[in-house]
Amino acid sequence: MQFEPSVPSSLYHKMLAAEDPYPILHRLRAEHPVYFVSPEQFWLVTRYQDIERLLHYPGYVSLDGRNWEKYRPALKGSLLRWNEDNGLFCCSDEHHSRLRRLLRNIFSPISIVKMGDRIRNTVHETYMELVSERLSPVDLIAEFTSRVPYRIICQLVGLKADDDEAEYRKTIHKFICVLQPNPSIEDQQFAESALHKLLTWINRTMEERMAFPKADVVSYLLQIAHSKQTLTENDIRFLLLNIVGAGVETTAFVAQDILLLLYQDIELLEQLKADRSLANKGLLEIIRYAVGGPAGLMRFALCDFELGGQRIRQGQMLMLSRGGANRDPAVFENPDQIDLKRPIVKLPVFGRGTHRCLGEHLAMAQLQMMVEVFLDYPEEVASRPSEKWDG
Ligand code: HEM
């Protein structure tokens, strides 16, 4: 039985180093759609249909990194180990569905529409604050896109956002860095202290809400924990960690990719300014084009199986390439062009199935409003560069 492929994996590294990864990504998809990358040792999957199949048949692969043949558990007794063994990706299906059911209404499309004014105000206030701080355009985009999701999540969940905001954003970053496979000892140490800080923040908020409940997610979950007893306080800690960990940087990165694209592509910017409804209708197409690259969702094989002519072995890692799927010509005609009127096709960007992104509608609302603000003030942004460099 053939387990290891015969194709050299240098193409993957060339692609990582290339300014534009798509020519190589297209070549890989056409010639080696399931491609073994060494020395990292994972399968890069680049065809849309293969990625869809894997996302729809959870029996073949899992998100739980403990199924990886090279998995090295974090130190026994550490907070990281506690998180590894209890997070949303590793709990039982039954427990996972119960937790998701509890949060379904909070993150439903209707609830997010109701939150529209709050989100819009936060987006506008953040933008104005940054403009008055007189940052350069790139800093402005980076700061804008990372402050907004942090503030929105904090408001919704009930965590206090104004306690040293920049420090907490850095802490969240340190915590999620460790979610990459086999983090270095140094990253683990950073993440352990980050997790400690985030849990202290969460515990403090839980204590405050026990005494004085408010209209936020923490108070809602505490009320369930204390009345129906179907939820423990530890469950609440995990949920909050997952929401903060999964909702802040993802939204920031996607928003940053989108706004940088608008900043560079004047034609696209003009098109959106001329027809504002396209910022909503065409948002998925903008995401398809702007968000991609070689990397994507990680999965771990639960059994041996065949994919794209390759034999995947139980315990191996697969990377479902976002850019591979988003630019697959079998699904998107002229995939390297933006076509805002393109019929909508589901993208794997928010995942699928049981672990599908909980915050998809919240993220889309934020992205749309950040784009709207950008369309309102592009000149303001464009006039910034010299100001910072002049001192
Ligand atoms: C543009 C922004 C976002 C993107 C691209 C994104 C993407 C994803 C993806 C792909 C998954 C599934 C992971 C996988 O299949 O490997 C996921 C899960 C998740 N996302 Fe998001 N996400 C975004 C924003 C948010 C926000 C704002 C929240 C806040 C609530 C959030 C909360 C979660 C949670 C809690 C999970 C785990 C779900 C589970 O295991 O049941 N995400 N996200």
Give domain limits for the chain: 10-389
295 lines ligand 1 (CB under 6 A): no
Other CB atoms within a 10 A radius of the CB of residue 356 amount to 12
pLDDT tens profile 342-391: 988 888 899 988 899 999 999 999 999 999 998 987 665 544 433 332 22
φ, ψ for residue 273, nearest 5 deg: -70, -35
pLDDT for position 38: 87
Per-residue pLDDT of the chain (391 residues; tens, 9 = 90+): 333 444 555 888 899 889 999 999 999 999 999 999 988 899 999 999 999 999 988 789 999 999 999 998 888 999 989 888 888 888 888 889 999 999 999 999 999 999 999 999 999 999 888 888 877 666 777 889 999 999 999 999 999 877 788 889 989 988 888 777 778 888 888 889 999 999 999 999 999 999 999 999 999 999 998 887 778 999 999 999 999 999 999 999 999 999 989 988 989 999 999 999 998 899 999 999 999 889 999 999 999 999 999 999 999 999 999 999 999 999 999 999 999 999 888 888 999 888 999 999 999 999 999 999 989 876 655 444 333 322 2
Question: Is the Cβ atom of 239 under 6 angstroms away from ligand 1?
Answer: no
Structure tokens given for 12: 């993957």
**Of all protein residues, whose CA lies closest to atom 41 belonging to ligand 1?**
355
Does the beta carbon of 119 lie inside 6 Å of ligand 1? no
Rounded to two decimals, what is the model's pTM?
0.92
Which of 154, 357, 361, 364 gets mutated to test ligand 1 (max ligand atoms within 8 A of its CB)?
A: 357
The pLDDT score that the predictor gives to residue 22 is 96
Query: What is the CA(194)–ligand 1 centre distance, in A?
Result: 20
Residues in the chain: 391
Ligand 1 centroid, distance to 251 Cα (angstroms): 9
Tell which atom from ligand 1 comes closest to the C-alpha of 298.
16
Phi-psi region of 80 (alpha: psi -120 to 50; beta: other; left: phi over 0): alpha
- Give residue 243 CA to ligand 1 midpoint distance, Å: 8
Can you give the pLDDT at residue 196? 93
pLDDT score for 204 = 93
Both tokens assigned to 300 = 């771990």
Ligand 1 centroid–CA 211 distance in Å is 31
User: Measured in angstroms, how far is the CA atom of residue 281 from the centroid of ligand 1?
Assistant: 21
Tokens linked to 162: 């104004």
Contact, 298 vs 318, CB < 8 A?
Answer: yes
Spacing, Cα 31 to ligand 1 middle (Å): 31
Nearest CA to ligand 1 atom 27: 247
- The answer to whether the beta carbons of residues 149 and 252 sit under 8 Å apart is yes
User: Is residue 24 lining ligand 1, measured as CB closer than 6 Å?
Assistant: no
Q: Confirm if 178 and 156 have CB atoms less than 8 A apart.
A: no
Whether 250 lines ligand 1, by a CB cut-off of 6 Å, is yes
* Cα 263 to chain centroid, rounded: 22
Exposure string over 306-328, b if 16+ CB within 10 A, otherwise e: ebbebebeeebbbbbbbbbbbbb
Predicted local confidence at residue 8, as pLDDT: 52
What pLDDT sits at residue 86? 83
Q: Which one of 358, 367, 368, 370 would you pick to mutate in the ligand 1 pocket, going by the greatest count of ligand atoms within 8 A of its CB?
A: 358
Is residue 100 lining ligand 1, measured as CB closer than 6 Å? yes
Q: Are 53 and 43 in contact (CB under 8 A)?
A: no
Separation of CA 349 and ligand 1 centre (Å): 9
Q: From the CB of 155, is ligand 1 less than 6 Å away?
A: no
Please tell me if the CB atom of residue 362 comes closer than 6 angstroms to any atom of ligand 1.
yes
Checking DSSP bridges between strand 296-301 and strand 61-62, what pairing results, if any? antiparallel
Ligand 1 neighbourhood includes 122 CB (under 6 angstroms): no
Amino acid at 46: T
Instruction: Name the E strands within 32-79.
Output: 34-37, 42-45, 61-62
Give the 3-state secondary structure of residue 317.
strand
- Edge-to-edge order in the sheet of strand 42-45: 34-37, 42-45, 317-321, 296-301, 61-62
CB 337 within 8 A of CB 84: no
10-389, what's its fold?
Cytochrome p450 (1.10.630)
Residue written as token pair 């996302």: 55
Would you say the CB of residue 349 lies under 6 angstroms from ligand 1? yes
Q: Which residues pair with 44 in a beta bridge?
A: 35, 319
